Amino acid sequence: MDLNTKHYSSIDEFYQAVTDFCLERAQQAVASYGQFALVLAGGSTPMPLYRKLTEESRFPWNKTHLFWGDERCVPHDSELNNYHNTINALGGAGFIPNENIHRIKSELTPADAVADYRREIASFRKKRGDGLCFDLILLGMGNDGHTASLFPGSPALAEQDALVVAVPAPSTSAPCIPRITMTYPAFEAAATIAVMITGKQKQSLLKQIDQEPKTAGKYPISKIKAQKELIWFVA
């Protein structure tokens, strides 16, 4: 697939590189549009990144809008909630204006949460005015090749229009909880996507996706696209 990958020999170098990349994209977006729209990934891999970003004095937090690529259908203060965990990693995010934090309201029913987030994104996109939704989407990858909450075999993989959908509890990844997720069309409405890959098992899967295109399609992450740049950070 000829992936644009950047490999790092140490985890410290990996997180520093992703931090620098996020800072660069944030500064570029603010210079061009006056704001930076960032979609955060859940899971354990990006948490050290979020903590490092809070230490970066040049990051334009007051002009940054935060979105989430997916959410578990649990209370927003649950330890399984992506919003809860990322805000904690960001030290409470008191330096970000409240109106710039666009969370998935997981306390609602899945149908209502989806409808609410679709409206939230549509309103932001209209105000932005350039056709894009997001400047940068951060993604991870599961051992089953899922990203966000797009799991192998999910009906959400066939979605061609809606940017956000509800998905049932996955059978290939824990925890077994229904989710709300962005879709391929949402990813394609981003200028840049950065995928964070750590560990030998995921490195092996990424190598398979890159070198065996005939079988790569069974892994949801193999089908993501961005408007301008898709880059894979690997350690």
Q: Cβ neighbours of residue 111 under 8 Å, at least 6 residues apart?
A: 166
pLDDT at 141: 97
**What does the pLDDT look like over 95-120, one tens digit per residue?**
999 999 999 999 999 999 999 999 99
**What does the pLDDT look like over 161-212, one tens digit per residue?**
999 999 999 988 889 999 999 999 999 999 999 999 999 999 999 999 999 9
Domain, as residue range, for 182: 5-234
CA–CA distance, 162 with 183 (Å, rounded to integer): 7
Half-sphere exposure in the Cβ direction for 134 (13 Å, CA): 28
Task: Specify the number of domains making up the chain.
Answer: 1
pLDDT, average across residues 77-83 = 96
Contact 114, 149 (CB under 8 A): no
Q: Cβ neighbours of residue 86 under 8 Å, at least 6 residues apart?
A: 40, 42, 46, 47, 50, 68
Contact 103, 73 (CB under 8 A): no
CATH number of the domain encompassing residue 99: 3.40.50.1360
